[in-house]
Amino acid sequence: MGVKVKELAELTGAKIFGDENLEIENVAKIQDAQAKDLALLYLKSYEKYAAVTNAGCLLIDEKIERKRDDLTYLVHSAPRIAFLKILKAFFDKPVDITQEEAIDPTAKIGENVKLGCNVIIGANCEIGAGTVIGHNTVILADTKLGENCFIYPNVTIRENCIIGNNVIMHSGVVIGSDGFGFEPDEKGVFHKVPQVGNVVIEDDVELGANVAIDRAALGSTIIRKGVKIDNLVQIGHNVEIGEHTVLSGQTGISGSTKIGSHVILAGQVGVAGHLEIADGTIVAAQSGVSKSLVKTGKYFGTPAKEMGLALKLEAHVRSLPKYAERIKALEKELEELKQQINR
């Protein structure tokens, strides 16, 4: 059973342009939304999706132009706050962790699955054949875990996540923790934005110890086939990592960034949100990526620059004391020359 657009407008104070009786059954990213979905559009950089989205209704900032007659619009001066109200009222489902048995009777466990001590598997989970799950691991409801996976002790996989075959997770991994989503009100008080998406991990992925991958706010955080992730890596909500990419220790990727295939991010690389990194790119250790890297290459520094330029700049920075002494000497010579001319 859906909720009518006019109910959403009454809740938020938004203005309706279109069908007020349209029933909304879900919320989705504007790129993925379908006819019964509500999508949010507040960033200018995402306006390109408005022309092609299949969403039934768009919640938009009043500064964004309405260009389609086949869509219903909700227009609001603070669309993110309005969206937060809608999520909390209609789409934020509480997580049930009160099951009476360690292995919920509705869970489907494949052949030759091995379970350690104190393993918890929630309702409607599916565990593929040959998978090994270590001690004290918790897998919450509606999660699917593929065949021949090896899950070391003390791993947490939260609800609705989808994990492929031959996946390895080392101890301390957390899959599907809430994305870092908070919205300030007019008083500067931060309110939690419900994170109603999930995490999708494809085949042959390995995750090092204490890796944290946040669930999407809407849609999915996606780790593609063959990705290898080192210890202590943080991946934010709605990030997508391309096939056979490598992320080294202590790397952090902010929300909604898309990393290409066969990319290497060395240790302690930081990547800002809503960016893209091209296939085959290499980013050297301790670099900070503040803008999209749309050209394949090697990058270094903060902000990250093409490797050749970055090394030249670094060489000049190290030579600054010498440059300063030379400038002082030249200034002294120039002053002496002026004095001679003035005599």
At 195, list the tokens: 């994170």
Question: 108 with 128: CB under 8 angstroms?
Answer: no
| Sheet (strand 258-259) strand order | 108-109, 126-127, 144-145, 162-163, 198-201, 220-223, 240-241, 258-259, 276-277
Name the residue type at position 338: K
316 is catalytic: no
Residue with token string 């309702």: 123
- Closest alpha carbon to 304 in 261, 256, 263: 263
Question: 98 with 104: CB under 8 angstroms?
Answer: no
| CA distances to 19, 111, 151, 175, 326 from 114, in Å | 53, 9, 10, 20, 71
Q: Which of 76, 135, 170, 237 is catalytic?
A: 237
Instruction: Show which residues are catalytic.
Output: 237
